[in-house]
Amino acid sequence: MLAELARQAGDLDAALASCERAVEMFRSIDNRMGVNRIYLTRSDVYAARGELDDALASCDVALSVANASGDRLGILLASIMWAVHGFALGRFEEATAMAVTAMAASADLGGFMRADTLNYGAWSFALAGGDTALAREWLNEAISLLDDEARVGLFGRAVQHSLGEVCRLDHDLEQAETWLQRALIAPPADDANDRVARESLARVSIECGDHAKARGYLLNVLDALTRDGPAADLASCFDAIARLAWAEAADHRVAATLTAAADALYATWAGRARVYAAERDETAAACEASLGPEEFDLAVTAGGALALSDAFDLARSVLDL
């Protein structure tokens, strides 16, 4: 408890020290569930410090302890946490395998835990470029476990966004738009789920050729963000705006520059970069063909060196045309 309070307060050194003391105490009384939960807190602390290899190592210990004691919830929590941090490190296949382990554990727990794990697990398959049909099946199951009130709540909207994005990745644009619309809140608000749903809808609109609608969604997203982050959200927003600039056959140098700026920011979350990799490659290839290799390389170099605030202003200039 003290470790978690210190983590939430941002005192990460104190949180790690509390974790070490708590592990010693729980081991001394052979409380393996307590050891599992403390190592999960320890993993969160390392992740907050940006030390993701150490975060995964803590997950490994937590998973080992849970397996030894038959703690199904502990297995589920450690597997999902490993999957999240593994994706951040670009270890997609291992992360997906961990999501599958979590889903096996969630089958014994049922209810909300099952729905939550189905959402994570299905999304991990989509992120890894795997079986989108299975991902859709799992997400539909997750939604079926939620009552009407839960579906319009924070978690329900997250599941519906996940399903919409998986449909979009599967090129089922009609179903993608249906589910993503259900994930929105009105009027647009400073809400992470709402932002990512609107950005996904912008991408659907671009694929459908409705650039005006895409511009409206992206203006909503950019208005809800600030020049200093979150970096992963800004990266995918810049990426989508570059896609719009390319689709409108506007200034391809701007599109290439913004794509490069997004790539520089994607280092904060490799998983999201993988979701949009095919679209980015298509945009970059088209820009290079239009500009020529030398001009394209100059644009990419400029984009990679852009300050975050300058990239934000460039993205805004595209939408304000």
- Residue 226 has phi, psi (to 5 degrees) of -125, 165
Tens digit of pLDDT per residue, the chain (321 long)?
555 655 555 667 787 888 888 889 999 888 999 899 999 999 988 888 888 899 999 999 999 999 999 999 999 999 989 988 888 787 888 888 888 888 888 888 877 778 888 887 777 777 666 778 888 888 888 888 887 777 777 788 888 988 998 899 889 999 999 999 998 876 666 677 788 899 999 999 999 999 999 999 999 898 888 766 677 788 889 989 999 999 987 679 999 999 998 888 876 555 556 667 778 888 889 999 999 999 999 999 999 899 888 999 999 999 986
Element (H, E) at 267: none
Q: Fold identical between 1-108 and 110-180?
A: yes
At 158 the pLDDT is 86
* Domain spans, the chain: 1-108, 110-180, 225-321
Q: Which CATH number fits domain 110-180: 1.25.40, 1.10.10, 1.10.3470, 1.10.150?
A: 1.25.40
Determine the Cα–Cα distance for residues 216 and 201; give it in Å rounded to an integer: 10
DSSP state of 186: S
Q: Say if CB 271 and CB 127 are below 8 A apart.
A: yes
pLDDT for res 5: 52
Over the range 159-168, which residues count as b (16 or more CB within 10 Å of their CB) and which as e? Answer: bbbbbbbbbb
Whether pTM exceeds 0.85:
no
Neighbours of 47 (CB within 10 A): 20
Q: Nearest Cα to 51, choosing from 80, 18, 16?
A: 16
Q: Write the DSSP string, 214-258.
A: HHHHHHHHHHHSBTTB-HHHHHHHHHHHHHHHHHTT--HHHHHHH
pLDDT the model gives residue 223? 86
Cis peptide before 293 (omega within 30 of 0): no
Q: Which amino acid is at 67?
A: N
Nearest of 286, 302, 207, 204 to residue 252 by alpha carbon: 286
User: Would you identify the CATH topology of the domain 1-108?
Assistant: 1.25.40
